[in-house]
């Protein structure tokens, strides 16, 4: 447990730089990055399937239900990309005034949605959670760090633009 906490703490500190850049990133940049993730997943379909098969080959001792949760079929890969496109189409949550009022002395007070910053997720063996969490965090101007079982890491998804640099532009 101590090693997991230390590792999560380290990667969370590293994510802080990207979070600060994303706080100031305009909606078009954040929306574009989420759409780039969807396109990268579609473009890397064969690579993702091959990596997923390697993961599954190493899990022969696991239950069929567990293996099924990790299996990425063509339809499931399409669903990953479609979920990101749905997230990209959501209205920009950053900067939205949720509530405001004017005090008797004339001071205006408002609740405004702001990025959360770095969000840490701990979950077990759900490839769609990895992608959904990345898209939702990015869309809302935050970054995310995940800790899960090795089987849930989706090794084949990261290449070709699905990770962001601290300057909020998709990596080549």
Whether residue 170 has pLDDT greater than 60? no
Which tokens go with 56?
């599954």
Read off the pLDDT band of 22 (50, 70, 90).
Answer: confident
Per residue in 81-139, pLDDT (tens digit) is: 999 999 999 999 888 899 999 999 999 999 998 887 877 777 776 788 888 888 988 88
What pLDDT, on a 0 to 100 scale, did the predictor assign at position 23? Answer: 78
What pLDDT, on a 0 to 100 scale, did the predictor assign at position 110? Answer: 96
What pLDDT, on a 0 to 100 scale, did the predictor assign at position 134? Answer: 86
Which tokens go with 71?
């299996």
Read off the pLDDT band of 20 (50, 70, 90).
Answer: confident
What is the average pLDDT across 150-155? 48
What pLDDT, on a 0 to 100 scale, did the predictor assign at position 123? Answer: 72
Domain boundaries, the chain: 2-91+119-152
What pLDDT, on a 0 to 100 scale, did the predictor assign at position 145? Answer: 60
**The pTM is what?**
0.74
With both helix axes pointing from N to C terminus, report the angle between 127-139 and 27-43 in degrees, rounded to the nearest 10.
Answer: 160
What is the average pLDDT across 48-57? 90
Domain 2-91+119-152 has CATH 3.40.605.10: yes
């Amino acid at each position: 447990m101590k090693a997991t906490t230390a590792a999560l703490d380290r990667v969370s500190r590293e994510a802080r730089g990207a979070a600060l850049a994303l706080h100031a990133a305009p909606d078009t940049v954040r929306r574009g990055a989420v759409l780039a993730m969807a396109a990268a997943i579609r473009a890397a379909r064969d690579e993702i399937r091959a990596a997923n098969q390697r993961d599954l080959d190493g899990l022969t001792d696991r239950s069929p239900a567990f293996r099924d949760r990790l299996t990425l079929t063509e339809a499931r890969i399409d669903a990953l990309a479609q979920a990101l496109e749905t997230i990209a189409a959501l209205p920009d949550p950053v900067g939205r005034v949720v509530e405001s009022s004017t005090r008797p002395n004339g001071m205006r007070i408002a609740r405004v949605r702001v990025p959360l910053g770095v969000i840490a997720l701990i979950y077990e063996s759900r490839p769609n959670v990895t992608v959904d969490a990345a898209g939702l965090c990015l869309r809302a101007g935050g970054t995310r760090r995940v800790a899960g079982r090795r089987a849930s890491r989706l090794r084949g998804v990261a290449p070709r633009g699905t990770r962001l640099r601290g300057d909020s532009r998709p990596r080549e």
